[in-house]
C-alpha cells in the first residue's frame, strides 16, 4: 500500500511541475474551500465534482486497481478534469466584488492578479513556441527522413529506429514509416518489450552499443537506423555491423540501411 501511495504522490508532483505549480495548487485549494461557503448551488456545481475527482485520484486503492492497469503513464491526466483556473478566477472575482469601496476593490484586483502571476510560469518563450518549418508544423528533418524511406520501400511500410527527439514527429507524418518503438519507450500508455527496451537504452547514450542495436535490428527486420551525429558517436562505416550509410539529413541525421547480404 505504501508503494501505491508513493506512486500517487509521484504522479501529482510530476503534474504540478515544481514550486510554482504547488503555489498555484494552494491557491486553487483555498478557492475550492471558499466554494463551500458560497451557497448550495456553488457547492453542487464546483466543490463536490472537484472533491470527487480528488478523492479518486489520491485513493491508493483506485490507483492500484485502475491506475497501474489501465492508466499507466497517464494517470496524472485525471487531474485535467479539475476546473482549476476557472475556480480560482471565479472565487477571486466574487470575493473582490463583495468589497464596496472602489479603491479597495481595485487594490484587491491587483493583488489577485499578482497571486496568479507569481504562482504561474511564462509560456510565451522560445522553449514553448518556435517558428514552424513547414505546413505540417513538424521538424523538417522528420519529414525528409520519412520521404527518403518512402521512396525506397520494399513493402507497404518499413520499420526504423530514430533518435528520441523525433519519436513523436515521425509517427505523425507517415504510416509507411513504422517506428521500432515510440513514445511508449518513456512509459507512456504501455510498456515495451525486451528488444525495444534494449535498443531504446542504447539510443539514449552518446556512445551506443552498435552491436546490440544492429543485431536486434537485423533480427527484427528493422531496415533503417537513424542516428543524431551531433549526439551519437557512431562510425561513418557500419558495414561490419550489416548496415551502410545511405543518406544524411541537415548534416545531422545519418540514415543507415541494412545491406542486402544480411
pLDDT in tens, 130-185: 777 778 788 899 999 999 999 988 888 899 999 999 988 888 888 889 999 887 77
Q: Mean of the pLDDT values across residues 203-220?
A: 93
Q: Which residue has the cell 486503492?
A: 61
Buried b (16+ CB within 10 A) or exposed e, 220-253: eebbbbbbbeebbebeeebeebbbebebebeeeb
Q: Global pTM?
A: 0.63
pLDDT of residue 188: 58
Q: Where are the alpha helices (DSSP H) in 75-122?
A: 84-96, 102-118
Our measurement of the distance from residue 77's CA atom to the centroid of its chain's CA atoms, rounded to an integer in Å, reads 11
Domain boundaries, the chain: 2-118, 140-258
Rounded alpha-carbon distances, angstroms, from residue 3 to 11, 59, 64, 218 = 12, 12, 9, 39
Torsion of CA 16, 17, 23, 29, to 10 degrees: 0
pLDDT in tens, 226-254: 999 999 999 989 999 999 999 999 999 99
Amino acid at each position: 500500500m505504501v508503494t501505491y501511495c508513493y506512486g500517487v504522490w509521484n504522479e501529482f508532483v510530476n503534474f504540478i511541475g515544481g514550486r510554482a505549480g504547488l503555489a498555484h495548487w494552494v491557491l486553487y485549494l483555498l478557492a475550492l474551500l471558499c466554494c463551500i461557503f458560497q451557497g448550495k448551488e456553488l457547492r453542487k456545481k464546483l466543490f463536490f465534482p472537484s472533491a470527487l475527482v480528488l478523492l479518486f485520484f489520491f485513493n491508493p486503492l483506485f490507483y492500484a486497481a485502475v491506475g497501474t492497469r489501465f492508466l499507466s503513464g497517464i494517470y496524472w491526466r485525471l487531474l485535467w478534469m479539475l476546473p482549476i483556473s476557472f475556480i480560482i478566477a471565479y472565487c477571486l472575482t466574487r470575493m473582490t466584488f463583495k468589497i464596496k469601496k472602489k479603491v479597495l476593490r481595485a487594490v484587491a484586483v491587483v493583488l489577485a492578479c499578482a497571486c496568479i502571476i507569481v504562482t504561474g510560469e511564462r509560456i510565451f518563450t522560445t522553449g514553448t513556441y518556435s517558428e514552424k518549418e513547414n505546413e505540417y508544423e513538424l521538424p523538417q528533418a522528420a519529414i525528409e527522413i520519412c520521404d527518403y524511406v518512402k521512396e525506397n520501400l520494399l513493402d507497404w511500410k518499413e520499420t526504423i529506429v530514430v533518435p528520441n527527439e523525433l519519436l513523436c514527429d515521425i509517427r505523425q507524418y507517415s504510416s509507411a514509416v513504422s517506428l521500432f518503438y515510440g513514445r511508449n519507450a518513456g512509459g507512456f500508455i504501455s510498456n515495451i518489450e525486451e528488444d525495444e527496451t534494449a535498443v531504446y537504452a542504447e539510443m539514449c547514450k552518446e556512445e551506443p552499443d552498435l552491436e546490440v542495436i544492429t543485431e536486434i535490428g537485423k533480427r527484427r527486420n528493422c531496415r533503417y537506423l537513424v542516428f543524431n551525429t551531433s549526439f551519437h558517436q557512431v562510425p561513418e562505416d557500419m558495414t561490419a555491423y550489416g548496415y551502410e550509410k545511405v543518406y544524411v539529413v541537415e548534416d545531422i541525421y545519418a540514415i543507415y540501411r541494412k545491406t542486402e547480404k544480411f
